[in-house]
């Protein structure tokens, strides 16, 4: 139920028995607190029952699936000045075609309530209309076509005239040669030869004058048309320059309207926040996500943030992997800079992504000789040093084999993936192995345990998945499917067994895109079953932690690796069983 503050909602039942968290949620990787889960459940019940607005989430039979769009919602558990616990509600972007819906906290900034910016936007829209009108003017098209025709005709006629002059020059040369022969035979006098040469020279001068005259004629015509065309183009360019200047000014004014508070009562605008924490301009939609809206309202109304959770409601976008009612972290591209500022002054949970959860795990050497190593990488160990964690396969092997030369790493496994990796101990071996990977000589097989029962009637027991992948620039390191700009990604799969609501599959990647196997399994157009323990695309996508450490490993293991020894040229095959 709502309190006197129409946005502060009290819990439907007593929550006195639930211990409050000692620190606020780290929004980019978290296990939702019980209070946040309870608030989310009450919001979800409201979404199912409310009738005051309509949004096509794609959840009902009569919803138009083609127009359906799911939405990210957020809940912020807060404490008011009277010590009461309640929560705030928010959505990302727009809901039911509106940025302000009753019961949900208002946007940090609503351009539709700013008359000055609306007036400026209307001026830009007017410039757009004028530019479009001038660009579509029949006179512009006619002059463009005329100029093109004139250039073509001028080139053709001048070329023909020049060819005619070449032929005439040959004829004059031949006439001179004949005349000199006739002079030698006495058939032509010297005076006659002189007159002939004067005549031929006159013809040459005449031809050159005709060419110059033709060129001048076309130059004048083309110049006249060009001036007429330039007059129209200059008018359009002038309007475009005005539009650019006004758009830049409007954007800066727009950014300055987004003022974000933090727990220390410090306010900074959108551009300033991104300048410090991202070093690039804010992307479209920055500041309109649920988490910033929730914290902003809490700070403005002296509400103490206790816990945060965000969940997806409705149909997943075709490119991303979003599951109905599942919790998700705040996005990196839009929210990380903003929330980094807004969380200042709050005691926040540690970032588990900075903890080296593999520091006590053994890197098993499966095979070694003077040229190569084959290791069994444990889950959560990096293949190469990262930005914040140096411990990796590379650093450990470099320390164990100090005499090894070259790059060592030939291929990589994702940090969360366990299994076989081959390393080169010298440049010669590295070059040969790298060539094998490029030419797809290397054979790899992965074992994955999927969360759910694979529908054999729909998918069969084996098949090939082709879903092109590209990084989600707004939410790195997540990948998404994009038919237009994604890179080709192909995976062959086989179902091994189904047991206890889990499906065990073999995966054979034909390409090596980032997160390829994880996305191909989880995406609705793939197998539509995420891997157990997948903290990006699975059922614990907000991040499941225990004492600050990720609780459950990704159930993906590189169990089979075959290649040709780079020196002996002997075929080698290795297999290592998984721990799941």
230 is an active site residue: no
What pLDDT score does 551 carry?
55
Q: How many CB atoms are closer than 10 A to CB 281?
A: 12
Residue of 578, 491, 482 lying closest to 532 (CA atoms): 578
What pLDDT score does 4 carry?
52
Residue 194 predicted with pLDDT over 70: yes
Residue of 87, 120, 73 lying closest to 10 (CA atoms): 87
Average pLDDT, the chain: 95
Question: Alpha helix locations (H) across 301-415?
Answer: 332-342, 393-400
Peptide bond just before 324 cis, omega within 30 deg: no
Give 67-83 pLDDT, tens digit per residue: 999 999 999 999 999 99
**Cβ–Cβ < 8 Å for 538, 451:** yes
Residue of 490, 555, 499, 476 lying closest to 526 (CA atoms): 490
**Cβ–Cβ < 8 Å for 115, 125:** no
What DSSP designation does 316 have? Answer: P
Residue of 317, 315, 319, 316 lying closest to 467 (CA atoms): 319
Residue 544 predicted with pLDDT over 70: no
What pLDDT score does 547 carry?
46
What pLDDT score does 552 carry?
76
The CA-atom distances, in angstroms, between 429 and each of 261, 374, 375, 406, 422 are: 56, 13, 16, 9, 11
Which stretch of 207-216, 246-255, 549-558 has the lowest confidence by average pLDDT? 549-558
Q: Rounded to whole angstroms, how far apart are CA atoms 133 and 145?
A: 18
Residues whose CB is less than 8 angstroms from the CB of residue 369 and which lie 6 or more positions away in sequence, other chains included:
none
Average pLDDT over residues 14-34: 97
Q: Rounded to whole angstroms, how far apart are CA atoms 314 and 48?
A: 11
**Cβ–Cβ < 8 Å for 529, 521:** yes
Residues whose CB is less than 8 angstroms from the CB of residue 183 and which lie 6 or more positions away in sequence, other chains included:
189, 190, 193
Residue 546 predicted with pLDDT over 50: no
Residue 162 predicted with pLDDT over 70: yes
Q: Rounded to whole angstroms, how far apart are CA atoms 188 and 459?
A: 100
Average pLDDT over residues 473-485: 95
The CA-atom distances, in angstroms, between 388 and each of 392, 399, 476 are: 11, 19, 16
DSSP codes joined into one string, 389-433: ---BHHHHHHHH-TT--S--BSS---TT-EEEEEEESSHHHHHHH
3-state secondary structure of 126: helix
**Cβ–Cβ < 8 Å for 104, 91:** yes
Q: Rounded to whole angstroms, how far apart are CA atoms 209 and 216?
A: 10
Question: If pLDDT is split at 50, 70 and 90, which confidence band does 62 have?
Answer: confident
What DSSP designation does 112 have? Answer: G
Kind and range of the H or E element at 9?
strand 9-10
Calculate ∠ Cα 6-11-16, nearest 5°: 135
Give 371-419 pLDDT, tens digit per residue: 999 999 999 999 999 999 999 999 999 999 999 999 999 999 999 999 9
Residue 5 predicted with pLDDT over 90: no
Q: The tokens 């008018």 sit on which residue?
A: 235
Q: How many CB atoms are closer than 10 A to CB 506?
A: 16
Q: pTM above the 0.95 mark?
A: no
Which tokens go with 480?
């998404």
What pLDDT score does 353 carry?
86
Q: Report the share of the chain in percent with pLDDT over 90.
A: 92
Q: Rounded to whole angstroms, how far apart are CA atoms 504 and 497?
A: 5
Q: Which long-range contacts (CB under 8 A, 24 or more apart) does 255-261 make?
A: 255/282, 257/109, 257/111, 257/114, 257/117, 258/108, 258/109, 258/286, 258/287, 259/108, 259/109, 260/108, 260/287, 260/292, 260/296, 260/338, 260/341, 260/342, 261/295, 261/296, 261/299, 261/300, 261/342
What DSSP designation does 569 have? Answer: -
Which tokens go with 562?
């075959």
The CA-atom distances, in angstroms, between 99 and each of 108, 260, 296, 413, 427 are: 10, 18, 15, 42, 58
Average pLDDT over residues 514-525: 97
Residue of 236, 215, 232, 231 lying closest to 150 (CA atoms): 215
What pLDDT score does 1 carry?
46
What pLDDT score does 549 carry?
46
User: Given 414, 474, 534, 535, which residue is catalytic?
Assistant: 414
Average pLDDT over residues 98-120: 94
């Amino acid at each position: 139920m709502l309190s006197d503050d129409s946005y502060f909602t009290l819990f439907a039942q007593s929550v006195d028995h639930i211990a409050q968290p000692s620190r606020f949620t780290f929004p980019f990787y978290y296990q939702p607190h019980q209070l946040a889960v309870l608030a989310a459940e009450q919001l979800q019940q409201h979404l199912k029952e409310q009738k005051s607005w309509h949004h096509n989430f794609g959840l009902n039979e009569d919803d138009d699936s083609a127009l359906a769009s799911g939405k990210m919602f957020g809940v912020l558990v807060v404490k008011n000045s009277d010590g009461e616990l309640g929560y705030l509600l928010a959505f990302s972007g727009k809901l039911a075609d509106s940025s302000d819906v009753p019961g949900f906290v208002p946007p940090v900034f609503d351009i539709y309530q700013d008359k000055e910016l609306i007036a400026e936007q209307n001026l830009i829209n007017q410039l757009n209309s004028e530019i479009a009108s001038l660009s579509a003017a029949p006179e512009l098209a006619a002059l463009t076509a005329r100029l093109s025709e004139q250039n073509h005709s001028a080139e053709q006629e001048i070329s023909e005239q020049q060819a005619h002059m070449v032929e005439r020059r040959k004829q004059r040369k031949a006439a001179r040669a004949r005349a000199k022969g006739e002079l030698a035979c006495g058939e032509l006098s010297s005076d006659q030869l002189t007159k002939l040469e004067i005549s031929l020279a006159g013809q040459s001068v005449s031809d050159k004058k005709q060419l110059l005259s033709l060129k001048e004629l076309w130059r004048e015509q083309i110049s006249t048309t060009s001036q007429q065309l330039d007059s129209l183009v200059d008018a359009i360019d002038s309007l475009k320059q005005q539009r650019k200047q006004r758009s830049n000014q409007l954007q800066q004014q727009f950014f300055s309207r987004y003022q974000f508070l933090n727990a220390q009562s410090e306010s900074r605008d959108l551009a300033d926040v991104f300048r410090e924490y991202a070093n690039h301009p804010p992307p479209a939609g920055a500041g309109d996500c649920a988490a910033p809206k929730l914290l902003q309202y809490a700070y403005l109304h002296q509400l103490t943030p206790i816990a945060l959770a965000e969940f997806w409601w409705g149909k997943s976008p075709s490119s991303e992997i979003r599951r109905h009612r599942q919790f998700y972290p705040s996005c990196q591209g839009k929210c990380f800079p903003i929330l980094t500022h807004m969380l200042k002054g709050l005691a926040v949970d540690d970032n588990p992504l900075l903890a080296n959860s593999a520091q006590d795990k053994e890197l098993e050497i499966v095979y070694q000789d003077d040229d190569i190593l084959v290791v069994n990488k444990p889950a959560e160990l990096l293949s190469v040093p990262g930005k914040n964690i140096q411990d990796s396969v590379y650093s450990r092997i470099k320390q164990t084999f100090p005499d090894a030369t070259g790059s060592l790493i030939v291929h990589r496994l994702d940090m969360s993936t366990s299994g076989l990796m081959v390393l080169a101990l010298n440049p010669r071996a590295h070059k040969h192995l790298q060539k094998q990977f490029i030419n797809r000589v290397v054979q790899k097989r992965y074992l994955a345990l999927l969360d759910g029962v694979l529908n054999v009637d729909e998918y069969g027991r084996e098949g090939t998945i082709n879903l092109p992948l590209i990084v989600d620039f707004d939410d790195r390191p997540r990948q998404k499917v994009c038919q237009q700009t994604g890179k080709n990604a192909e995976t062959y799969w086989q179902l091994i067994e189904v047991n206890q609501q889990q499906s065990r599959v073999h995966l054979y990647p034909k390409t090596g895109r980032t997160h390829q196997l994880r996305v191909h399994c989880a995406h609705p157009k793939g197998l539509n079953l995420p891997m157990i323990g997948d903290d990006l695309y699975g059922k614990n996508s907000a991040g499941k932690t225990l004492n600050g450490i990720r609780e459950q490993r990704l159930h993906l293991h590189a169990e089979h690796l075959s290649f040709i020894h780079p020196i002996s040229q002997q075929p080698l095959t290795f297999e290592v069983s998984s721990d799941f």
